[in-house]
């Protein structure tokens, strides 16, 4: 069972679409939705930016078939964890 709200998913979707490592978010708004549940589960479990970065790097390589170097997954992981903390999610403040 997911313990986060649709608004949290939408916020994360927005961040992933801004990152847009394959360059299609303008046309395909749900391209990165496959990463929403795994990233949110990791964040809810207390994952840090290194763990999120490793997941994003793996997804870029294995799922999307990209060289992750240019996409800077570690920078995106920092952004995601900062968003999570700022939104109060790290303390379990959200339903």
Tell me whether residue 32 is in a domain. Answer: yes
The maximal CA–CA distance of the chain, rounded, in angstroms, is 36
* Residue matched to tokens 């949110």: 40
Tell me whether residue 95 is in a domain. Answer: no
Tell me whether residue 72 is in a domain. Answer: yes
What pLDDT is stored for residue 17 in this prediction?
97
Tell me whether residue 58 is in a domain. Answer: yes
pTM: 0.85
Q: How many domains does the chain have?
A: 1
Task: Quote the domain boundaries for residue 71.
Answer: 6-87
Asked if pLDDT for residue 57 goes beyond 80, the answer is yes
Dihedral, CA of residue 26, residue 85, residue 56 and residue 21, to nearest 10: 20
Query: What are the tokens at 75?
Result: 């920078």
For residues 94 and 89, what is the distance between their CA atoms, to the nearest angstrom? 6
Confidence at 6, pLDDT banded by 50, 70, 90? confident
């Amino acid at each position: 069972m997911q313990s986060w709200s649709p608004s949290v998913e939408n916020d994360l979707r927005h961040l992933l679409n801004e990152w847009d490592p394959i360059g299609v978010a303008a046309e395909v708004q749900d391209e990165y939705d496959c990463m929403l549940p795994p990233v949110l589960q990791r964040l809810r479990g207390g994952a840090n930016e290194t763990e999120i970065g490793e997941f994003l790097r793996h997804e870029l390589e294995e799922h999307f078939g990209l060289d992750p170097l240019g996409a800077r997954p570690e920078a995106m992981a920092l952004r995601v964890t900062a968003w999570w903390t700022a939104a109060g999610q790290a303390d379990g403040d959200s339903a």
